[in-house]
Amino acid sequence: MVIVETTRLELRELTVEDAEFILGLVNEPSFLANIGDKGVRTLDDAKRFILDGPWKRGQRRGYGQFLVELKPDATPIGVCGLLYRNNLGVTDIGCAFLPGFWRQGFAFEAATAVMNYGRSRLGIEKIVGLTSEENLASIALLEKFGMKFEKTVKMTDDDPGTALYS
């Protein structure tokens, strides 16, 4: 099911048929360094992650990570979506793209569409960004939306600190 589309992209719900792509994406060195190890090592792990992983489990209706595909041929290039962070009481916009699709405006295009969707269709007033302090590309993207560093938060007990932008 298509959630939102732009001139170049379609964003849709993830399905188990996307397991091979997700397996590759979550094991990219950049994903592991900037987002973390999700423990997805096999296609079966990827299917379980899609069906009941942190991108779906406990999320409100309309939330989650969405598959980002190029329109002409439905090539999957990344994920972008909204996650409700219960521990912080905020909605977070999050994206991850394969390195071959960086620096082409896809993250900004997808995130703009997802934030518009969140505000207009889900009625979300405040959307924040969460990123590691070392993830300069994500920080630049959040700042492009006019967000500014607000504070450092701990997402888990072993989290060294995550930057919250709003």
Please report the pLDDT score of residue 44 as a whole number: 97
- CA distances to 69, 70, 94, 119 from 34, rounded to whole Å, are 22, 24, 12, 26
Confirm whether 136 is domain-assigned.
no
Provide the pLDDT for residue 159: 83
* 68 in a structural domain: yes
Domain count, the chain: 1
For 162, the token pair is 């995550």
CA–CA separation, 38 and 36 (whole Å): 6
Spatial separation of the C-alpha atoms in residues 84 and 79, rounded to whole Å: 16
Domain at 55, CATH number: 3.40.630.30
Average pLDDT, integer, range 71-87: 95
Q: Any bridge partners for residue 67, and if so which?
A: 12, 79
Kindly state whether residue 144 falls inside one of the protein's structural domains.
no
Residue 145 lies in a domain: no
Determine the average pLDDT of the residues in 56-72: 86
- What is the pLDDT averaged over residues 137-150? 95
**Quick one: average pLDDT of 134-152?**
94
Q: Which residue has the tokens 């099911």?
A: 1
Domain, as residue range, for 112? 2-83+93-126
Could you tell me if residue 141 is inside a domain?
A: no
Domain presence at residue 17: yes
Q: Is residue 152 part of a domain?
A: no
Percentage of the residues of the chain whose pLDDT score is greater than 90: 81
Q: Is it the case that residue 107 has pLDDT exceeding 80? A: yes
